């Protein structure tokens, strides 16, 4: 027969083991869902290759600049369209976009575009690619930009 103290200690030990095991599982799930959150991160070179891949079928591709209109007018990638993720209407406007097209999303350094890509994935878009490092890394790699809207 177990004493009351031994039984309580055993129950606490079992609970601690279960909690540790569960917290480990949720950490693994979070990391996996971040990696497969419905969009992919691309390096500048991969982003450029993806643009080239669609050169013969440009209507299937949207290069989406999610910076402010001022930033977009100052400098942007050729053929990009602007949809400001910080404007407060991004989700509503993105929801109206064609889900069959491929979206290459970028911003200044990659933070806003990752957020925009995550929103698009949440809306059911399946072909969304975020450029890591944004237009800053694009230019550092010697790639061209254009001015104006």
Other Cβ atoms less than 10 A from the Cβ of 34: the count is 10
Task: Supply 127's token pair.
Answer: 């072909």
| Token pair of 103 as six digits | 């979206």
pTM (global) more than 0.85: no
Nearest to 83, CA basis, from 62, 55, 110: 62
pLDDT (tens place) for every residue of the chain, 149 residues total: 556 555 555 555 444 454 444 433 333 332 223 344 689 999 999 999 999 999 999 999 999 999 999 999 999 999 999 999 999 999 999 999 999 999 999 999 999 999 999 999 999 999 999 999 999 999 999 999 999 86
């Amino acid at each position: 027969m177990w004493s009351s103290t031994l039984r309580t200690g055993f129950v606490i030990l079992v609970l601690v083991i279960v909690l540790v095991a569960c917290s480990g599982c949720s950490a693994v799930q979070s990391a996996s869902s971040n990696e497969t959150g419905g969009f992919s991160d691309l390096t500048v070179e991969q982003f450029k290759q993806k643009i080239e891949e669609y050169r013969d079928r440009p209507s299937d591709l949207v290069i989406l600049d999610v910076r402010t209109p001022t930033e977009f007018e100052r400098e942007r990638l050729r053929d990009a369209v602007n949809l400001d993720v910080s404007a407060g209407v991004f989700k509503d406007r993105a929801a109206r976009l064609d889900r069959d097209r491929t979206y290459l999303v970028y911003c200044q350094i990659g933070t806003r575009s990752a957020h925009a890509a995550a929103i698009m994935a949440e809306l059911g878009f399946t072909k969304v690619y975020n450029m890591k490092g944004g237009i800053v890394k694009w230019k550092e790699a010697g790639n061209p930009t254009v001015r104006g809207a």
